[in-house]
Amino acid sequence: MTPLRQRMIDDMRVRNLSPKTQIAYVTQVARFAKYFGKSPEVLGPEEVRTYLVHLVNDKHVSWSLFNQTCCALKFLYRVTVPRDWHVEQIPFPRQERKLPVALSTGEVARFLDAIPNLKQRAILMTAYSAGLRTSEVVHQRLSDIDSERMVIRIQQGKGHKDRYVMLSQKLLDLLREYWKVARPSDWLFPGSTPDRPIDVTMVQKAAQKARLRAGLRKAVTVRALRHSFATHLLEAGANVRIIQVLLGHRSLQTTARYTHVSANTVCATISPLDLLPDPKQS
């Protein structure tokens, strides 16, 4: 490991950036250096511009990856190797705004019913019933399930924040059935070794298999279940601010996206087609 890479990692650690972010930033800076065959310490704004143009015109990378590269270079030249040229010149692209994919309540029921494996059904039902991210559901511990208060504790979710979400009675019944069979001791959903949680790829594969068994055309992921959780709460009359707290969103604007996919919102106005007179029968 080069001294520059170690220094950048140390800078990210003392700022409490997540391990996932650290890996992403180091990877993007390494690709930047490899493109020119030189250390980033000797590169400047013109090389940054050239590389970003290369990513767009030649590599055709996604805007999310492009944005990640910009963030990594900004961190490098603002924190690890500060430069007197304007780091703000590194652009932030306008992000594509895509609406979340949400399943209907009937589709969620079909999906969960199509999971024969008890552990997999418990994992995916936990994700939907509490609106959890993949990383949050796999890192659940037995001690996080509070059946006395009927809440689930989410420890250090996105943004290094703890929060509580509701514990469904149906979920609690299933978790008790699962515990009697699996007998987990620490991690609620252990992986191949009891001292480690289940890998996220195993959860993703389980979701894809269940989608095929259920005959669903929509892409069903843990993220889609989380979107469905929020949408169904909104359609049931829950306050957007409450949904924001349950999801662990920093901004209410992020949560407000679900108003655009809620059937209550979309179907609140009648289509003008339905206002037209019926066609005359010939």
Q: Quick one: pLDDT at residue 188?
A: 96
Q: Quick one: pLDDT at residue 268?
A: 56
Q: Quick one: pLDDT at residue 247?
A: 86
Fold classified for 3-89: DNA polymerase; domain 1 (1.10.150)
Q: Quick one: pLDDT at residue 95?
A: 64
Where are the chain's structural domains?
3-89, 105-266
CATH hierarchy code of domain 105-266: 1.10.443.10
What are the residue ranges in the chain where pLDDT is below 70? 93-99, 157-160, 253-254, 256-276, 280-282
Q: Quick one: pLDDT at residue 262?
A: 62
**Per-residue 3-state assignment (H helix, E strand, C coil) for the chain:** CCHHHHHHHHHHHHCCCCHHHHHHHHHHHHHHHHHHCCCHHHCCHHHHHHHHHHHHHHHCCCHHHHHHHHHHHHHHHHHHCCCCCCHHHCCCCCCCCCCCCCCCHHHHHHHHHCCCCHHHHHHHHHHHHHCCCHHHHHCCEHHHEECCCCEEEEEEECCCEEEEEECCHHHHHHHHHHHHHHCCCCECCECCCCCCECCHHHHHHHHHHHHHHHCCCCCCCHHHHHHHHHHHHHHCCCCHHHHHHHHCCCCHHHHHHHHHCCHHHHCCCCCHHHHCCCCCCC
